[in-house]
Amino acid sequence: MITTIITFLIVLGILVFVHELGHFIAAKRAGVVVEEFSIFIPPRIWSKKVGETRYSINLIPFGGYVKMLGEMDESKNPRSYGNQTPFKRFMISIAGVLVNIVFAWAILTVGFAAGMPPLVSDPDSLPGEKNVNGILVVFVEEGSVAESSGFTKGDLIYSATYNGETKTFASDQELIDYTSSHLGQEVVFDAEIGGERKDISTTISENKEAPLGIAPLDNLKVKIPWYQAPYVAFRETYMISKATVEVLGDLFGTLFTKGKIVEGVGGPVAIYSFTSLAVDMGWMVVIQFVALLSIGLAMFNILPFPALDGGRILFIVLESIFGKKVIKESVENIIHLVGFGLLIVLFILLTYNDISRLIR
């Protein structure tokens, strides 16, 4: 549990840092005074002022911010955010999203070059060397044959022997078919339990729905040549981004039309649960999870909603079209404040939904 909590905080910290670093670098390059670069939400745990900028780490592990001079109030300083051209303000606002996407792409590039399973692409459509090294146990049902035999999340199953005949599994479906065809029979599995390779003798249950009581997954790794990995990672990033936008569209569409959360969409508790699962499944899965979250953070922030980067970009685009600010800066700040409040409500709803799902 401690490992999961630490990993969870590190993952969130990295994602927030990367996102806010994008805003920070763009603001500095534009010559804007950055008053504070903050990770997480106050109260402060640590802070230090270097030059004109205070760097701080806060207690509540969600979100972060780059506070710029003239961002929330009027300033006559030529280096204030409000006195920059629409183009510079646009680049500052979108920089966090772009850096999150580039960060995910870089992670996936390294992952494919080292060898990892694709997240959304069909493995057969990818170049490189493909290798299934066992079947991964991603879930063990309570009270199942697998649990009584000692299987846990993250274990690997390589083969099974019955009546002197051994079957090596090349896919999770082969394992599913095998257990379904050996109901009530004693089978010896060649498996890796807790990092130790051993033989596990198990009598498969008569339960046709879950003979072994596990959720299996191919432990597939695709190792792509380094010169092809960037392109494959780019395509994977695009496909994940597209899928994320569709999920967000369903989320807000259902929320505003039916007043409920789409099934399968999770909040912070769900992220923690998936972090726990990723930790059990190994460091490569954790890295993939970071890439997924980074893209998710980018796609969420680009939504044209007040308080998000996309909401600020929308006002900048309207200003560029009409040649002047559409509404007063003070009114825009109020709109963003209201938007922030609505996001907090959404955050609470998602958390409640996560907890309710866990209880059920």
Q: Are residues 258 and 110 in the same domain?
A: yes
Task: Say what the pLDDT of residue 101 is.
Answer: 97
At a CB cut-off of 8 Å and minimum separation 6, what does 262 contact?
247, 250, 251, 254, 255
Residues whose CB falls within 8 Å of the CB of residue 253, separated by 6 or more in sequence, listed in order: none
Evaluate the CA torsion angle 188, 189, 194, 195 in order and state its sign. positive
- CB under 8 Å to 48, separation ≥6 — which residues? 54, 55, 56
**pLDDT classification of 264: cutoffs 50, 70, 90:** low
| Residues 233, 334: Cα–Cα separation, whole Å | 40
Same domain flag for 6 and 99: yes
pLDDT at 109: 96
Q: What is the pLDDT of residues 71-128, one digit of tens each?
A: 877 788 999 998 899 999 999 999 999 999 999 999 999 999 998 888 888 887 888 8
End residue of a domain, out of 223, 251, 285? 223
In this structure, the number of other CB atoms found within 10 A of the CB of residue 208 comes to: 9
Domain boundary among 193, 223, 253: 223
pLDDT the model gives residue 261: 65
Question: Angle, to 10 degrees, between the axis of helix 309-322 and the axis of helix 329-359?
Answer: 150
> Which of 176, 204, 223 is the endpoint of a domain?
223
Per-residue pLDDT tens for 38-64? 998 889 999 999 999 999 999 888 788
- Give the total number of structural domains in the chain: 2
For residues 185 and 296, membership in a common domain is answered with no
Domain interval for residue 247: 2-120+229-359
Backbone dihedral angles phi then psi of residue 117, each to the nearest 5 degrees: -75, 145
DSSP state of 259: S
Distance of alpha carbon 358 from alpha carbon 21, whole angstroms: 34
Give the domain CATH number at 174.
2.30.42.10
CA distance 225 to 279: 27
Residue owning tokens 């649960």: 273
